[in-house]
Amino acid sequence: MRGFPTARPAQAVDEERLRSRRGGLRGRGVGLLERRPGAARVRGLLRALGSVYAANDVLDVEEDRGHPEKSKRPVASGEIPVRTAAFFAALLAAAGISLAFFVAPGVGLAGVAYLLLQALYSPILKHVAILDVMSISAGFVLRALAGVAAVGEAISPWLIVCTGLLTLFLGFSKRRHELAALGEDAVVHRKNLKDYSIDMLDQMMNIMVAATIIAYAMYTFFAHEDRLMMASIPFVVYGVFRYMLLVHRNGGGNPDTLLLQDRPLQITLVLFLAVVMSVIYFF
């Protein structure tokens, strides 16, 4: 995605998320994703699927121009012409699907499903309250499944559930941020925000946080026979609670931005990864 501004460099964090999910692979002693022969192809696939973001920028250009932050995106700001971005999106979509099937049939099927989901999201699903956030969550789950298919390893179903629940929580927190930041202009930016309220979103976030913690605890209980992975639970609990604190303190916003700006979250992530890697490779 480098070299073309509309590809949203922040989405490169998906590569790191895929690597971190290595903790859910059942087989021990398997090298990190970077060490596998197909690592370059997997990274290329993740970048190619970034075509969706370029397509969304084209479809949402008018709405983005009325948003205080999204108006700075290359397409919305006029830095990149709409036709150029549309051509770029189509080119990457074709390359991404071709590469996906080359990596593995399962990756190709996940890629097709992901693009179909996004094709429904922009014209239909994004305008329906709750389904808009569920669609975003489904997209992350599909990308996780594609990554697992690419490395050819089994993954705990509990970890897939955790991915879905956590991204639902993050999605509802972003809707809350939009309501809090845009105020009366929120409906102008996103029509379905009229169906949300901050109180309702707070309740949804509370449900998702509880469900995420329970699902992750169940994952650690079943992922390894020695159950040492349960040592990582406190870091997950603190991490989601810390994020909720930031959401209520300053409205939240982009999870990637919060992670880059909040030192306690960064320390928690490092400690979490240290515990997970230690359990996988030394116990």
pLDDT digits (tens, 9 = 90+) for 139-152: 999 888 887 887 77
Number of structural domains (the chain) is 2
| Final residue in a domain of this structure, among 129, 155, 181 | 155
- Is the same domain home to 102 and 120? yes
Note the pTM of the prediction, 2 decimals: 0.73
CA atoms within 13 A on the CB side of 142: 21
- Is the same domain home to 88 and 205? no
- Is the same domain home to 185 and 132? no
pLDDT digits (tens, 9 = 90+) for 11-68: 444 444 444 444 444 444 333 333 444 554 555 555 556 666 666 666 666 666 666 6
pLDDT digits (tens, 9 = 90+) for 58-112: 666 666 666 666 666 766 676 777 677 777 777 777 777 787 787 778 888 888 8
Q: How far is residue 160's CA from residue 167's CA, in Å, rounded to a whole number?
A: 11
The whole-chain average pLDDT of the chain stands at 77
Interacting residues of 177 by C-beta distance below 8 A, sequence separation 6+:
247, 251, 252, 253
For residues 10 and 256, is the Cβ–Cβ distance under 8 A?
A: yes
The domain of 174 spans 156-283
- Is the same domain home to 87 and 209? no
